[in-house]
Amino acid sequence: MLDKSPDQILDSKLVNIQNEFREKIPNIVLCSEPFHKAEFLNKLINCFEKPVIFVDIDLLYTGYVESGIIQKRDNVTILHITKENWKKEFAGIISKISKEEFLVIIDSFNGIYNMFDDLESAIFINSCIMLLSSLGKDTSSSIVITAMARKKEKEGWILTPGGKQIIKSAKTGVYFLKKIENNLSMRSIDEDSKNFKT
């Protein structure tokens, strides 16, 4: 039934999603279930042949890798960034993506905002992400940022915990990820778009 609907695209190899992630930069993937987020990121990484930098702030992905639930691929570098080493690690990421194509995953927005809790730091983090995105465009890199979020009437999508609103520019792709039966479904959070990626 899904493949007959014009509003849905079957994309088990994530080809369409990867193409969108290259066109829109950065990309924010919202989810209300951490396990669905980890499942999606693992599928995305497994479909990506180029090098991957995984900035694991909430340590969920690292936990799955260390327990053997998720097998770590050779093309994946996992970084654990703290407030103290952010500038140094971020400079290293910038240096790498300015030379060749990468998939950079920052997991998650919530963890970043919890790490940097004042307004000045939030502005600094947003500037870092926009710089990363700008450099990534030159090498066709993809920047994917996850966030645990919920939608509030009249306020839009809100990060949980923390209650900060998603910052979005015209160049940013924002998607909502959920599981329907056994399939992951991704919907663009664009008022004019009704596309679903399953």
Q: What is the pLDDT of residue 37?
A: 92
Q: Whole-prediction pTM value? A: 0.85
Rounded to the nearest angstrom, the gap between the alpha carbon of residue 150 and the centroid of all alpha carbons in its chain is 16
Q: What is the pLDDT of residue 166?
A: 61
pLDDT digits (tens, 9 = 90+) for 114-169: 777 666 666 777 788 889 989 988 999 999 999 887 777 666 666 655 545 566 66
Max distance between CA atoms of the chain, in angstroms, equals 51
Domain range summary for the chain, segments of one domain joined by +: 2-191
The pLDDT mean for the chain works out to 82
Q: Which fold, 2-191?
A: Rossmann fold (3.40.50)
Alpha-carbon distances, residue 130 vs 65, 146, 184, 198 (angstroms): 29, 15, 28, 28
pLDDT digits (tens, 9 = 90+) for 115-130: 776 666 667 777 888 8
The CA distance from 34 to 157, in Å, is: 16
Tokens 């980890």 appear where? 38
Q: What is the pLDDT of residue 163?
A: 47
